[in-house]
Structure 1
Amino acid sequence: MKHLFICTLFLSITASLLGQDLEYAKDIISKLSSPDFKGRGYVEEGNQIAAKYIKDQFTQIGLKPFKKDYYQSFKIDVNVFPDKVLLSFDKEELVAGKDFIIDASSPSLKGEFSTYTVSKQDLMIDANVRKAIEQTAGKFLIIDERKFKSDDKESVKKLNELINFLKYSPQVPSAGTIVLTSEKLTWDISSEQGGKVSFTVCKDIDIKTISKIKVEVNASLIKSKTQNIVGFIEGTTQPDSFLVAVAHYDHLGKMGKEVYFPGANDNASGVAMLLTLAKYFKAYPPKYSVAFIALTAEEIGIVGAKEFVENPLFDLKKTKFLVNFDLAGTGDDGIKVVNGSIYKKQFDLLTDLNSKNSYLKSVQIRGAACNSDHCMFYQKGVPCFYIYTLGGIQAYHDIYDKYETLPLTKFVDYAKLMIDFYKSF
């Protein structure tokens, strides 16, 4: 009876603590995805603003640094757009982020250009490709993908390779490229600057009416200082071994002076989960130490994780298990567990915990995939999962990934499941 009372009391305290921490998580996500944080990229010090904020949270929670402070600093190359990014069709100015995005590796360019248009379907004929190359000298090549359909995956792959050739090759004499699409706009970030400007446009436009386009792009390839932020809670009985939680805090930043990419789900939500777990385990430390790593430069090629595993602040061989939290803001349909089929014992433990407590609708298994920060640790032999939530909003790498529309449907239950999982070691 006494044991039952203690268990009930503990569960009640845990539920109360996490209930309060939903408001804490909302505050974290709201701030990190606000205009003040500049999209957490490398224009107007967005990445540095976010790092300082997370560092301050580490301090307030009471995490210990491995060194004199929480930062693991290094430099990266990044192509940025700190000033104008303008595109006009004749006299109609398109809206950046909503109507178009610029290719992340684009250089600077300013001018008014004639156009040559070809459909994606037309590019399946060699003669049309040759004509497109011949006719585009000094012009903008417009490739219309909007009505293209094909079930032949190999043909589509080859066609996309051809389009990349037309967009970027110095053998093609065009001034730049515009791809018209009916798909959602999804931006990226690049560590390189190419030789040609390229835009992707999603707007209902009659291409027959386009005679001239106007372009103004200011791009800079810079070397930017950035940093991982690392702290830990000391274990009660085996402090030399570690459980690890990681989440990247960087995002895409700004595209010109006006447009920023909030990154609420990707990955302010993952940072909120990281900090929520840190608050819990500070209050209830487990037998093993727990390291919390807010990683930078994930969007530019998992660079922050690579920096950490090449210069680890603790012995990676003493890692009991690591979980990478990314896209943690929905959960209507459960979670997907990358590396679940690799570490089947731990995956089965996770599913058992979920079944016993009915936390989430599903815990779905997936194999290995080098698609986020966990990959660098996995390649070093660190047992790990990468977990992301399923269902809810579809916003991703666009201007619509906002705090205001992020449901956080199962955030608290997801946190409870992960606490149970960590405590099982």
Structure 2
Amino acid sequence: MISVRSFTKTRAILFFLILLMLGMACDRLPMVKIPEEPKERLTAFITYLSSDELEGRGTGTAGNKKAAYYIRELFKSFGLQPLGNEYYQEFKVVTEVQLGEGNSLVTRTHGQEQSWEVGTDFMPMPFTENQSATGKVAFVGYGISAPDLNYDDYSGIDPEGKIVIIMRESPDYEDPHGKFSDYVSLSYKIRNAREHKVAGVLFVNPPSDTADELYTLKRVQGDMQAGVPAIHVKQSVVTSILPESQLFEALEEGIKSTMKPASFDIPDVEIEMNPSVKLIEKPTWNVVGIVPGNDPKLSKEYIIVGAHYDHLGWGQEGSRYTGEEPAIHHGADDNASGVAAMLEVAKHIGENPQPRSVVFIAFGAEEMGALGSAYYCKNPLVPLENTVLMLNLDMVGRLQENKLQVTGTGTSSAWDSLIDTLSNHHGLEVSKSADGYGPSDHASFYSQNVSVLNLFTGLHDDYHKPSDTVDKINFDGLLTIAQFARDIVVRVAHLEKRPDFVK
């Protein structure tokens, strides 16, 4: 007979083994058999990546990790060699912002001190520096310096060392095609304030915004940090410190009607601010494999083929979904389609090595501001100076009337003729853009002087909604684009002379 103590110990061991096996099961996903036919492969790739099981592949989630593992296993099966740590390049991203300790805001007007309540009267901005600031105060309108528009909210005052009050939006924000559209973002305004050496920033909604809601502690796009303390205040905080002769509504209306700044120092007012936030970080990964080149000289040069595999989970920041209940954002086109096309190219190159080396990267955290590609460019696994092309695939699953957008054609003098030749061969009607920048991972490489090409079949009503599902993918069109991308890689890999870079 087994003693109670031994039985308890045995039960504990069995329980531990069960937990261990469950943990291993999470890391070792069952791999679906890879179909023989290319179109069926593309279907299998997107069906899995956009499935409910992966829950939208939100950065920092279990579904995102499963997607990375799936791609890694496919890289292995295609014969790609690992880069990074067994195909993984890990980096951390801020997935949540919480209220820190000790948030305070005090205004002193004509010697009268008033303390304001966090969450009711003000909130720290999620990108704030966690530091205190005390100083005199200046109202600087919308905080815009636009020499091309002959407009500067900082003209006529000395903002250095002061707390500045900045209205959100712009003088013509009600016009969807307003000329100030490049100057509206918070990232621009905080950067401009920092360049003017301010001590701190109080953002406020313009008086015409009658809802006057405080900015929430949501994660912001990119890795933006203010460099100065920054908070968002209710309009009542601003009206309490303005001179009696300066009505807040009149200030806004005056700027909008004249399109001229109306900035000024606020006399006999001092502000003491102490914002504090806590950034919650989680790991995610770029998945990276390489097919080394077979030419002794050209193999030291690299072509990168990339596509981001993350999406919006159950509706992270950037979602356009307006339903009341949370819903999985499947991201079939954005960007399971790009990953599928990249995988198809990887399979071909893995079976047919080229003169130049070809690197394949599934980028993480693109939806959070192209963080994965930015991290790679700061920590490259092959030399960026030896990278001759970064070919990016982002949303390539909705081809209509054979129309494809290709951006970055002006980043090398070799691209225009190459794209013309191959698009004619594949029956594609290509709309070309010379610019190397744009809202995807290729921009990270272009900013580091790498020639780029980005393929895109266009926006649609399902963009960033749960309705971006696999049944809406044009698989015939996707196969054509995958073959088009493959041929770009093969042609560039065989060029005798390295293609030039054009800024």
Shorter-chain TM-score range: 0.5 to 0.7
Matched AA of 1:55: R
Structure 1: distance between partners of 2:181 and 2:57: 35
Matched AA of 2:53: D
Query: 1:340 and 2:409 equivalent?
Result: yes
Matched AA of 2:63: G
For residue 236 of structure 1, what is the aligned residue in structure 2? 294
TM-score under structure 2 length normalisation? 0.54
Select which of 350, 364, 376 maps to 1:282: 350
Alpha-carbon shift at residue 222 of structure 1 (Å): 2.5
Structure 1: distance between partners of 2:444 and 2:491: 25
For residue 360 of structure 1, what is the aligned residue in structure 2? 428
Alpha-carbon shift at residue 249 of structure 1 (Å): 0.7
Say whether the 8 Å CA contact 1:168–1:195 is kept in structure 2. Answer: no
Structure 2: distance between partners of 1:418 and 1:157: 33
Alpha-carbon shift at residue 369 of structure 1 (Å): 2.2
TM-score under structure 1 length normalisation? 0.64
Matched AA of 2:307: A
1:312-331 to structure 2, matched below 5 A, reads: 312-331=380-399
Select which of 354, 359, 368 maps to 1:291: 359
What do the CA deviations read for 1:249-298 (whole angstroms, capped 9, x no partner)? 11111249842211111111110011000001112211111100111111
Say whether the 8 Å CA contact 2:35–2:41 is kept in structure 1. Answer: no
Matched AA of 1:229: V
Query: 1:418 and 2:485 equivalent?
Result: yes
What do the CA deviations read for 1:391-414 (whole angstroms, capped 9, x no partner)? 7x4321111111122223411221
Determine which structure has more spread, i.e. the larger CA radius of gyration: 2
Q: 1:364 to 1:46 in 2, by over 3 A?
A: same
For residue 92 of structure 1, what is the aligned residue in structure 2? none
Q: 1:46 to 1:346 in 2, by over 3 A?
A: same
What do the CA deviations read for 1:324-353 (whole angstroms, capped 9, x no partner)? 110110222422122113324212211112
Select which of 297, 303, 314 maps to 1:254: 314
Matched AA of 1:420: D
Say whether the 8 Å CA contact 2:406–2:455 is kept in structure 1. Answer: yes
Say whether the 8 Å CA contact 2:55–2:314 is kept in structure 1. Answer: yes
Select which of 39, 54, 58 maps to 1:41: 58
Structure 1: distance between partners of 2:206 and 2:328: 26
Alpha-carbon shift at residue 31 of structure 1 (Å): 1.0
Query: 1:270 and 2:338 equivalent?
Result: yes
Structure 2: distance between partners of 1:328 and 1:372: 13
What do the CA deviations read for 1:183-228 (whole angstroms, capped 9, x no partner)? xxxxx978799989xxxxxxxxxxxxxxxxxxxxxxx962111111
Structure 1: distance between partners of 2:440 and 2:87: 22
Say whether the 8 Å CA contact 1:150–1:156 is kept in structure 2. Answer: no
Select which of 378, 390, 396 maps to 2:446: 378
Structure 2: distance between partners of 1:168 and 1:52: 47
For residue 115 of structure 1, what is the aligned residue in structure 2? none
Say whether the 8 Å CA contact 1:334–1:364 is kept in structure 2. Answer: no
Q: 1:152 to 1:307 in 2, by over 3 A?
A: closer
Q: 2:287 aligns to what SS in structure 1?
A: strand
Alpha-carbon shift at residue 370 of structure 1 (Å): 3.5
Select which of 260, 268, 282 maps to 1:224: 282
Query: 1:153 and 2:198 equivalent?
Result: no
Q: 1:67 to 1:157 in 2, by over 3 A?
A: closer
Structure 1: distance between partners of 2:408 and 2:66: 33
RMSD of aligned C-alpha atoms?
4.0
Q: 1:192 to 1:349 in 2, by over 3 A?
A: closer
Number of paired residues?
313
Structure 2: distance between partners of 1:155 and 1:235: 48
Say whether the 8 Å CA contact 1:247–1:271 is kept in structure 2. Answer: yes
Alpha-carbon shift at residue 153 of structure 1 (Å): 2.3
Query: 1:63 and 2:80 equivalent?
Result: yes
Structure 1: distance between partners of 2:386 and 2:185: 44
What do the CA deviations read for 1:99-142 (whole angstroms, capped 9, x no partner)? xxxxxx8xxxxxxxxxxxxxxxxxxxxxxxxxxxxxxxxxxxxx
Query: 1:397 and 2:422 equivalent?
Result: no
For residue 375 of structure 2, what is the aligned residue in structure 1? 307
Say whether the 8 Å CA contact 1:79–1:191 is kept in structure 2. Answer: no
Alpha-carbon shift at residue 166 of structure 1 (Å): 6.3
Say whether the 8 Å CA contact 2:405–2:431 is kept in structure 1. Answer: yes
Alpha-carbon shift at residue 317 of structure 1 (Å): 1.5
Alpha-carbon shift at residue 32 of structure 1 (Å): 0.9
Structure 1: distance between partners of 2:394 and 2:206: 32
Q: 1:304 to 1:151 in 2, by over 3 A?
A: closer
Alpha-carbon shift at residue 174 of structure 1 (Å): 5.1
Query: What residue ranges of structure 1 are gaps of 5+ in the alignment?
Result: 1-16, 82-104, 106-147, 179-187, 197-219
Say whether the 8 Å CA contact 1:78–1:190 is kept in structure 2. Answer: no
Q: 1:287 to 1:75 in 2, by over 3 A?
A: same
Structure 1: distance between partners of 2:96 and 2:466: 19
Matched AA of 2:491: S
Structure 2: distance between partners of 1:240 and 1:152: 47
For residue 184 of structure 1, what is the aligned residue in structure 2? none
Matched AA of 1:324: N
- Identical pairs, percent: 28
For residue 46 of structure 2, what is the aligned residue in structure 1? 29
Alpha-carbon shift at residue 157 of structure 1 (Å): 8.8
Alpha-carbon shift at residue 420 of structure 1 (Å): 1.9
Say whether the 8 Å CA contact 1:328–1:411 is kept in structure 2. Answer: yes
Alpha-carbon shift at residue 312 of structure 1 (Å): 0.8
Say whether the 8 Å CA contact 1:241–1:318 is kept in structure 2. Answer: yes
Say whether the 8 Å CA contact 2:68–2:287 is kept in structure 1. Answer: yes
For residue 79 of structure 1, what is the aligned residue in structure 2? 96
Alpha-carbon shift at residue 362 of structure 1 (Å): 2.7
Q: 1:18 to 1:320 in 2, by over 3 A?
A: farther
Query: What residue ranges of structure 2 are gaps of 5+ in the alignment?
Result: 1-33, 99-125, 127-172, 187-202, 233-277, 317-324, 493-503
Alpha-carbon shift at residue 320 of structure 1 (Å): 2.2
> Which moved further from structure 2: 235-244 or 32-41?
235-244
